[in-house]
Structure 1
Amino acid sequence: MPKMRIYKEFKFDSAHWLPNVPPTHKCANMHGHTYTIEIHVEDELHPELGWVLDYNDLRNIVEPLVVMLDHKVLNEIPGLENPTAEHIALWLWGKIRPDLPQLAQVVVKENPSNVCIYCGG
Protein backbone atom coordinates (compact mmCIF):
# COMPACT_ATOMS: atom_id res chain seq x y z
CA MET A 1 0.00 0.00 0.00
CA PRO A 2 1.25 3.52 -0.70
CA LYS A 3 2.41 5.61 2.23
CA MET A 4 0.81 9.05 2.48
CA ARG A 5 0.83 12.05 4.77
CA ILE A 6 -2.20 14.04 5.86
CA TYR A 7 -2.50 16.97 8.21
CA LYS A 8 -5.14 18.92 10.03
CA GLU A 9 -4.87 22.57 10.99
CA PHE A 10 -6.02 24.10 14.28
CA LYS A 11 -6.01 27.70 15.54
CA PHE A 12 -5.93 29.21 19.01
CA ASP A 13 -5.24 32.57 20.62
CA SER A 14 -2.88 32.73 23.59
CA ALA A 15 -0.72 35.15 25.54
CA HIS A 16 2.82 34.53 26.72
CA TRP A 17 6.17 36.07 27.49
CA LEU A 18 9.63 34.58 27.19
CA PRO A 19 11.20 34.51 30.66
CA ASN A 20 14.73 33.64 29.53
CA VAL A 21 15.37 36.51 27.12
CA PRO A 22 17.04 39.75 28.27
CA PRO A 23 14.59 42.18 29.94
CA THR A 24 15.08 44.61 27.05
CA HIS A 25 13.90 42.05 24.47
CA LYS A 26 10.37 42.77 23.24
CA CYS A 27 9.29 39.17 23.93
CA ALA A 28 10.12 39.60 27.62
CA ASN A 29 6.80 41.45 27.81
CA MET A 30 3.42 39.73 27.81
CA HIS A 31 2.04 39.61 24.28
CA GLY A 32 -0.23 37.38 22.24
CA HIS A 33 -0.43 35.40 19.04
CA THR A 34 -3.09 33.77 16.96
CA TYR A 35 -1.32 30.44 16.62
CA THR A 36 -1.87 28.00 13.81
CA ILE A 37 -0.74 24.44 14.34
CA GLU A 38 -0.58 21.61 11.85
CA ILE A 39 -0.58 18.00 13.00
CA HIS A 40 0.83 15.70 10.31
CA VAL A 41 0.21 11.96 10.24
CA GLU A 42 1.96 9.50 7.94
CA ASP A 43 0.94 5.91 7.33
CA GLU A 44 -0.02 3.44 4.66
CA LEU A 45 -3.28 4.03 2.88
CA HIS A 46 -5.93 1.76 4.38
CA PRO A 47 -6.84 -0.74 1.63
CA GLU A 48 -10.58 -0.74 2.37
CA LEU A 49 -11.29 2.69 3.85
CA GLY A 50 -9.05 4.53 1.41
CA TRP A 51 -7.55 6.92 3.96
CA VAL A 52 -4.57 7.27 6.27
CA LEU A 53 -6.68 8.29 9.27
CA ASP A 54 -10.18 9.61 9.80
CA TYR A 55 -9.83 13.40 10.18
CA ASN A 56 -12.44 13.26 12.96
CA ASP A 57 -10.22 10.86 14.91
CA LEU A 58 -7.34 13.30 14.52
CA ARG A 59 -9.54 16.18 15.67
CA ASN A 60 -10.68 14.19 18.71
CA ILE A 61 -7.06 13.68 19.78
CA VAL A 62 -5.88 17.26 19.23
CA GLU A 63 -8.90 19.42 20.05
CA PRO A 64 -8.71 18.86 23.85
CA LEU A 65 -5.14 20.19 23.75
CA VAL A 66 -6.21 23.22 21.74
CA VAL A 67 -8.88 23.92 24.39
CA MET A 68 -6.12 23.81 27.04
CA LEU A 69 -4.16 26.47 25.12
CA ASP A 70 -6.89 28.73 23.74
CA HIS A 71 -7.27 32.11 25.47
CA LYS A 72 -4.77 31.10 28.15
CA VAL A 73 -1.44 32.42 29.38
CA LEU A 74 0.88 29.70 28.08
CA ASN A 75 3.49 30.28 30.81
CA GLU A 76 0.95 29.02 33.37
CA ILE A 77 0.55 25.61 31.67
CA PRO A 78 2.81 22.88 33.12
CA GLY A 79 5.58 22.15 30.64
CA LEU A 80 5.23 25.51 28.89
CA GLU A 81 6.92 27.78 31.39
CA ASN A 82 9.20 29.02 28.56
CA PRO A 83 6.65 28.92 25.73
CA THR A 84 8.72 29.41 22.60
CA ALA A 85 7.28 27.98 19.39
CA GLU A 86 9.87 25.21 19.75
CA HIS A 87 8.70 24.29 23.24
CA ILE A 88 5.06 24.39 22.17
CA ALA A 89 5.89 21.95 19.34
CA LEU A 90 7.69 19.62 21.77
CA TRP A 91 4.82 19.85 24.27
CA LEU A 92 2.24 19.01 21.60
CA TRP A 93 4.35 16.10 20.32
CA GLY A 94 4.65 14.68 23.82
CA LYS A 95 0.89 14.88 24.38
CA ILE A 96 -0.17 13.56 20.96
CA ARG A 97 2.39 10.84 20.18
CA PRO A 98 1.22 8.31 22.83
CA ASP A 99 -2.25 8.25 21.22
CA LEU A 100 -1.06 8.62 17.65
CA PRO A 101 2.09 6.61 16.82
CA GLN A 102 1.75 7.65 13.16
CA LEU A 103 2.47 11.27 14.15
CA ALA A 104 5.04 12.56 11.66
CA GLN A 105 5.33 16.29 12.22
CA VAL A 106 4.07 19.15 14.38
CA VAL A 107 4.11 22.66 12.92
CA VAL A 108 3.63 25.72 15.16
CA LYS A 109 3.08 29.10 13.50
CA GLU A 110 3.13 32.22 15.65
CA ASN A 111 2.31 34.08 12.46
CA PRO A 112 2.79 33.29 8.76
CA SER A 113 6.53 34.06 8.86
CA ASN A 114 7.54 32.65 12.28
CA VAL A 115 7.25 28.88 12.05
CA CYS A 116 8.68 25.90 13.94
CA ILE A 117 8.59 22.38 12.48
CA TYR A 118 9.28 19.37 14.70
CA CYS A 119 9.58 15.88 13.25
CA GLY A 120 10.38 13.90 16.40
CA GLY A 121 13.63 12.48 17.55
Structure 2
Amino acid sequence: MNKTAVVRCEHFNSAHRLHNKNWSDAKNKEVFGKCNNPNFHGHNYELEVKVIGDIDPETGYVMDMKVLSDIIKAKVLDRFDHKNLNLDTVEFRDLNPTAENIAVIIFNLLKSELNANLELKIKLYETPRNYVEYPY
Protein backbone atom coordinates (compact mmCIF):
# COMPACT_ATOMS: atom_id res chain seq x y z
CA MET A 1 0.00 0.00 0.00
CA ASN A 2 1.21 3.54 -0.70
CA LYS A 3 1.92 5.93 2.11
CA THR A 4 -0.81 8.45 2.89
CA ALA A 5 -0.60 11.88 4.49
CA VAL A 6 -2.95 13.37 7.06
CA VAL A 7 -2.74 17.07 7.86
CA ARG A 8 -3.86 18.97 10.95
CA CYS A 9 -4.05 22.76 10.70
CA GLU A 10 -3.74 24.97 13.78
CA HIS A 11 -2.89 28.57 14.52
CA PHE A 12 -1.22 30.47 17.29
CA ASN A 13 -0.30 34.07 18.01
CA SER A 14 3.14 35.01 19.28
CA ALA A 15 5.40 38.01 19.60
CA HIS A 16 9.11 37.97 18.90
CA ARG A 17 12.14 40.03 18.06
CA LEU A 18 14.75 38.94 15.56
CA HIS A 19 18.07 39.87 17.08
CA ASN A 20 21.63 38.54 17.17
CA LYS A 21 23.16 39.52 20.51
CA ASN A 22 26.66 39.25 19.00
CA TRP A 23 25.96 42.05 16.51
CA SER A 24 25.77 45.78 16.92
CA ASP A 25 22.38 47.50 17.03
CA ALA A 26 23.14 48.93 13.59
CA LYS A 27 23.85 45.52 12.05
CA ASN A 28 20.75 44.00 13.66
CA LYS A 29 18.62 46.82 12.26
CA GLU A 30 20.25 46.44 8.83
CA VAL A 31 19.69 42.66 8.66
CA PHE A 32 16.35 42.28 10.45
CA GLY A 33 14.74 45.69 9.79
CA LYS A 34 11.33 46.13 11.43
CA CYS A 35 11.59 42.61 12.86
CA ASN A 36 14.34 43.90 15.18
CA ASN A 37 11.94 46.25 17.00
CA PRO A 38 13.17 46.35 20.64
CA ASN A 39 9.52 46.30 21.74
CA PHE A 40 8.83 43.15 19.71
CA HIS A 41 6.15 42.51 17.09
CA GLY A 42 3.61 39.75 16.57
CA HIS A 43 2.37 37.22 14.05
CA ASN A 44 -0.73 35.12 13.61
CA TYR A 45 1.04 31.90 12.72
CA GLU A 46 -0.73 29.22 10.70
CA LEU A 47 0.65 25.74 11.27
CA GLU A 48 0.20 22.65 9.09
CA VAL A 49 1.35 19.39 10.63
CA LYS A 50 1.58 16.59 8.07
CA VAL A 51 1.95 12.99 9.26
CA ILE A 52 2.80 10.42 6.60
CA GLY A 53 2.57 6.67 6.93
CA ASP A 54 0.76 3.50 6.01
CA ILE A 55 -2.96 3.20 6.67
CA ASP A 56 -3.57 0.83 9.56
CA PRO A 57 -5.79 -1.98 8.20
CA GLU A 58 -7.61 -2.31 11.53
CA THR A 59 -8.45 1.37 12.16
CA GLY A 60 -8.26 2.83 8.66
CA TYR A 61 -6.09 5.62 10.12
CA VAL A 62 -2.56 6.77 9.41
CA MET A 63 -2.94 8.39 12.82
CA ASP A 64 -5.94 9.28 14.92
CA MET A 65 -6.42 13.00 14.20
CA LYS A 66 -7.82 13.63 17.70
CA VAL A 67 -4.61 12.24 19.16
CA LEU A 68 -2.57 14.41 16.80
CA SER A 69 -4.63 17.47 17.76
CA ASP A 70 -4.06 16.77 21.45
CA ILE A 71 -0.29 16.41 20.93
CA ILE A 72 -0.11 19.69 19.00
CA LYS A 73 -2.07 21.46 21.71
CA ALA A 74 0.11 20.11 24.53
CA LYS A 75 3.48 20.48 22.82
CA VAL A 76 3.05 23.60 20.65
CA LEU A 77 -0.06 25.68 21.33
CA ASP A 78 0.13 25.63 25.13
CA ARG A 79 3.82 26.49 24.87
CA PHE A 80 3.80 29.26 22.22
CA ASP A 81 0.28 30.71 21.85
CA HIS A 82 -0.01 34.28 23.17
CA LYS A 83 3.61 34.21 24.32
CA ASN A 84 6.62 36.37 23.68
CA LEU A 85 8.93 33.77 22.16
CA ASN A 86 12.09 35.61 23.23
CA LEU A 87 11.03 36.15 26.84
CA ASP A 88 8.49 33.46 27.72
CA THR A 89 9.97 30.31 26.22
CA VAL A 90 13.03 28.22 26.99
CA GLU A 91 13.40 27.18 23.35
CA PHE A 92 14.12 30.72 22.12
CA ARG A 93 16.00 32.14 25.06
CA ASP A 94 19.26 31.71 23.09
CA LEU A 95 17.89 30.89 19.63
CA ASN A 96 16.71 33.59 17.23
CA PRO A 97 12.95 32.95 16.77
CA THR A 98 12.90 33.11 12.98
CA ALA A 99 10.16 31.19 11.19
CA GLU A 100 12.81 28.67 10.17
CA ASN A 101 13.89 28.05 13.77
CA ILE A 102 10.31 27.93 15.02
CA ALA A 103 9.46 25.25 12.43
CA VAL A 104 12.47 23.12 13.45
CA ILE A 105 11.60 23.43 17.14
CA ILE A 106 7.97 22.44 16.45
CA PHE A 107 9.17 19.45 14.41
CA ASN A 108 11.40 18.28 17.27
CA LEU A 109 8.68 18.74 19.88
CA LEU A 110 6.18 16.71 17.85
CA LYS A 111 8.44 14.03 16.35
CA SER A 112 9.29 12.58 19.74
CA GLU A 113 5.55 12.03 20.38
CA LEU A 114 4.88 10.07 17.17
CA ASN A 115 5.43 6.43 16.34
CA ALA A 116 8.85 5.96 14.76
CA ASN A 117 7.30 4.57 11.56
CA LEU A 118 5.55 7.88 10.83
CA GLU A 119 7.12 10.73 8.86
CA LEU A 120 6.51 14.31 9.92
CA LYS A 121 6.54 17.54 7.93
CA ILE A 122 5.89 21.02 9.24
CA LYS A 123 4.63 24.02 7.27
CA LEU A 124 4.57 27.27 9.23
CA TYR A 125 3.03 30.43 7.77
CA GLU A 126 4.35 33.61 9.35
CA THR A 127 2.20 35.66 6.97
CA PRO A 128 -0.15 34.56 4.18
CA ARG A 129 2.72 35.07 1.73
CA ASN A 130 5.69 33.81 3.78
CA TYR A 131 6.04 30.28 5.03
CA VAL A 132 8.64 27.69 5.96
CA GLU A 133 8.63 23.94 5.35
CA TYR A 134 10.67 21.54 7.46
CA PRO A 135 12.10 19.16 6.61
CA TYR A 136 12.24 19.98 2.95
> What is the TM-score when the length of structure 1 is the normalising length?
0.91
Q: Is residue 111–residue 120 contact of structure 2 (8 Å, CA) maintained in 1?
A: no
- The aligned residue for residue 42 of structure 2 is 32
Q: Give the structure with higher Rg (CA).
A: 2
- The residue matched to 1:38 in structure 2 has which SS? strand
RMSD (Å), alpha carbons: 1.5
- The residue matched to 1:26 in structure 2 has which SS? helix
- The aligned residue for residue 106 of structure 1 is 122
Alignment pair present for 1:61 and 2:71: yes
Instruction: Report 1:1-121 matches (<5 A).
Output: 1-20=1-20, 22-24=28-30, 25-29=33-37, 30-64=40-74, 65-76=76-87, 77-80=89-92, 81-100=95-114, 101=116, 102-119=118-135
Q: Is residue 107–residue 120 contact of structure 2 (8 Å, CA) maintained in 1?
A: no
**Displacement over 3 Å in runs of 4+:** none
Gaps of 5+ in 1: none
How many residues align structurally? Answer: 120
- The residue matched to 2:6 in structure 1 has which SS? strand
Q: Distance in 1 between matches of 2:80 and 2:18?
A: 16
Q: Distance in 2 between matches of 1:103 and 1:3?
A: 10
